[in-house]
Structure 1
Amino acid sequence: MNAKSPRPEAPGPALCGVPAEFYCANDYDAGQSTGYLMRQIINSVSQQVARELEPQGLTNAQWVPMLKLYLGKASTVAELARQCQLDAGSMTRLLDRLEAKGFCRRIRSSDDRRVVNIELTPEGREAAKEIPAVLSRVQNAHLAGFSVEEWQNLKGYLRRILETAHTLQAANEQHDK
């Protein structure tokens, strides 16, 4: 148990295999950390996507649920909130804005009054059908100069980091119980 913390320390990277020791507290440079670099890339991609989707009337926060609806990944408010990793209140406010723009509508289920279905309007489908092309264009621009093999390797490395992150999250959730 850590003397400064009322609960035991959460399990570390050892749960995911051999612990990595790429960073050292004595000479840690946040600007060179993988997390910082990934965040910078995400910010750059997000800004470019927002710039390109602005003519469709979509913000960065709005295009994700629009795409999920367009691709059929969700059809209810609850499903969409889970898919977008938002709480119910945030999703409701976001849907209020999308409805005000005429992109979607909420329809209460006749079978279960607690369920609210969402559907894209014709205007919403028109706006959403542009999203995959914008995402492809922006990501391809950011990957300029990569070979197909390098791109595949990069995706593999990112998937490994994500798998480790999921393992750590599950271990932390177990630890918190």
Structure 2
Amino acid sequence: MSDANTPHAPSAESDAGRRVPVDFYTPETYRTEESIGYLMRRIVAAVGQSVETRICEPGSPTYPQWVPLYKLNIGAATTVAELARACELDTGAMTRLLDRLEAKGLCRRVRSLEDRRVVNIELTDEGRAAAKEVPYVLSRVQNEHLAGFSKEEWEQLKGYLRRILDNAQALAVRGDKND
């Protein structure tokens, strides 16, 4: 949930203590280009494009391939299933992504000796080298996109984004319980 840096504005709350949505958007005045979803998608696309332009070598990992490389390198996952969850991808998409990473010589799949149903993923030396570049490239790109922000504005922006994420997660939990 939110931390001490999350800005909190007064909000209407129901009897159950849940935040009640405010009508920032209405059908009569709705404009797609002003929606938070559209703006966030555009930002993610711009960041991804900037990362892609930093990767000049043919055969280097693409922006979507950097996340699993990084997660493997820091030990956040070791199996296909764990990596799919960590990267928020379904196992089919993760398998296709791993096929591409393996074809580039960045990782290999190794069947577990303890349980043959489990497939572990190991980075190759080339994969470890590529994964070590991830934080450098992403830090540079994100700092470029935050040009003109003060440290306080950056903290405030992260707090707002965390609050949106908290709301999204709460909606998902309530939706699951209503089914």
Is the structural similarity TM-score above 0.5? yes
Find out whether 1:147 has 2:153 as its counterpart: no
| Cα RMSD for the two superposed structures | 1.6
Aligned to 1:138: 141
User: Normalized per residue, which structure has more helix?
Assistant: 1
Post-superposition offset of 1:61? 2.1
How far apart are the structure 1 equivalents of 2:80 and 2:103? 16
Relative to structure 1, the CA distance from residue 104 to residue 51 in structure 2 (aligned partners, 3 Å threshold; closer, same or farther) is same
Amino acid in the other structure paired with 1:69: L
How far apart are the structure 1 equivalents of 2:39 and 2:99? 34
Unaligned runs of 5+ in 2: 1-12
Amino acid in the other structure paired with 2:114: D
Find out whether 1:91 has 2:94 as its counterpart: yes
* Offset from partner CA, 1:27-46 (integer Å, 9 cap, x none): 11111111111111111001
Moved more, 46-55 or 72-81: 46-55
SS of 2:116's equivalent in the other structure is coil
Post-superposition offset of 1:146? 0.4
How far apart are the structure 1 equivalents of 2:94 and 2:165? 25
Q: How many residues align?
A: 164
TM-score of the superposition, structure 1-length normalised? 0.87
Find out whether 1:164 has 2:164 as its counterpart: no
* Alignment partner of 1:115 out of 111, 115, 118: 118
* Structure 1 residue ranges, 4+ long, deviating more than 2 angstroms after superposition: 13-16, 53-56
Amino acid in the other structure paired with 1:151: W
Find out whether 1:76 has 2:79 as its counterpart: yes
Matches within 5 A, 1:51-62: 51-55=53-57, 57-62=60-65
Unaligned runs of 5+ in 1: 1-12
* Alignment partner of 1:24 out of 26, 29, 43: 26
% same residue: 60
